[in-house]
Amino acid sequence: GNSVTQMEGPVTLSEEAFLTINCTYTATGYPSLFWYVQYPGEGLQLLLKATKADDKGSNKGFEATYRKETTSFHLEKGSVQVSDSAVYFCALIAGSYQLTFGKGTKLSVIP
Amino acid sequence: DAGVTQSPTHLIKTRGQQVTLRCSPKSGHDTVSWYQQALGQGPQFIFQYYEEEERQRGNFPDRFSGHQFPNYSSELNVNALLLGDSALYLCASSLGPIGGELFFGEGSRLTVL
């Protein structure tokens, strides 16, 4: 079956620090990969996505590259802001209608 | 343009009761998916509705059922509630069942006592 493993949180960073949240996956077939973000009190929002190997998804300064050889899709941002504090979910869809999510990583950015 | 709206936002039930949650999809969307998010966990797929039919179902018992109406809105029903059904229930809509970006509502928080 499909599964997503992402690094345990919570992660606490100072403003302007570099962020990496690791995500690896197992999937039957050829998945599309996603990062979703959940800000406090809000619904899940799509942050970025990649649909084939070596694709780089990017949005709001965040990036992630689809690495088929390592089955990974790590999320990075060069300089985080307080407004980036949220829960981040790695997810995939492969050969079905359903998204499979990781457990989420809570990020707190302090001034 | 309204996004995905869910109701109620919070509700409390007791074991054995039944609950109905409602979802209106984003304007122009015809597909609705339901997810359960337990505290500290990622969302788990319950089922998806397209053209008023259940297209796919996740690993949830028959106590969980749903419906999609001609206007594309949807309901999630849970019978014989258990303590373990306490969770945030998320509705997501998309244009078409495959490949479309999912837009999520803010969820309905169900507490079972």
The C-alpha atoms of residue B3 and residue B25 are separated, in whole angstroms, by 7
- Chain B hits for A103, Cβ within 8 Å: 40-42
Where does the pLDDT of residue A40 fall: very low under 50, low under 70, confident under 90, or very high at 90 and above?
confident
- Chain B hits for A102, Cβ within 8 Å: 42
How far B83 CA lies from chain A's nearest CA (Å)? 21
B interface test, pick of A8, A36, A98, A99 with most B CB neighbours within 10 Å: A98
Q: What is the tens place of the pLDDT at every residue in A3-32?
A: 999 988 899 999 999 999 999 999 988 899
Distances (CA, A) of B56 to A54, A64, B66: 30, 29, 12
* Residues A35 and A73 sit within 8 Å (Cβ to Cβ): yes
Strand partners, A14: A110
Q: For A83, left (φ over 0), alpha (ψ -120 to 50), or beta?
A: alpha
Please indicate whether, in this complex, the C-beta atoms of B42 and A91 are within 8 angstroms of each other: yes
Q: How far is CA B69 from the centre of its chain?
A: 14
Q: How many CB pairs under 8 A join A and B?
A: 49
Q: For B111, left (φ over 0), alpha (ψ -120 to 50), or beta?
A: beta
Q: What is the tens place of the pLDDT at every residue in B90-111?
A: 999 998 887 678 899 999 999 9
Q: What is the tens place of the pLDDT at every residue in B44-83?
A: 999 999 999 999 999 999 999 999 999 999 999 999 999 9
| Chain A residue with Cα closest to B108 | A43
